[in-house]
Amino acid sequence: MARFVAKNLVANGLAKKCMVSVAYAIGRAEPVMIEAINEKGENLSAIAKKYFDFRPQSIIKKLGLRKPLFYQTASYGHFGKKGLPWEAIVRIK
């Protein structure tokens, strides 16, 4: 989910590079911390929180993690492959 959010912040022109960090606590659905920072050090956390739901059940639903689509990710990793839900771009503004 962090990659999905970072990729979308970049694709929407809010950053050229972006780092997204998320921290969870056992027994809590809401993350205890969400941080998004662009290459200039600008804080994009409020935008990430507004447009993306980081609760585990929402991540499962948004990225279709219950669907059997992982065969194609068994070799050469999970990132940079077309057609995977975490590679999609969503409109933020």
Q: Check which CATH number belongs to the domain holding 60 and give it.
A: 3.30.300.10
Residue 90 inside a domain? The answer is: no
Domains identified in the chain, total number: 1
Q: Over the chain (93 residues), what is each successive 10-residue block's mean pLDDT?
A: 95 96 96 97 96 96 81 66 79 81
Residue 57 has φ and ψ, to the nearest 5°, of -65, -35
Residue 69 has φ and ψ, to the nearest 5°, of -110, 10
Residue 47 inside a domain? The answer is: yes
* Residue 64 lies in domain: 2-77
Residue 88 inside a domain? The answer is: no
Please say whether the beta carbons of 73 and 84 come within 8 A: yes
Among the listed residues 67, 36, 68, the one whose alpha carbon sits nearest the alpha carbon of residue 52: 36
Residue 93 inside a domain? The answer is: no
Residue 62 inside a domain? The answer is: yes
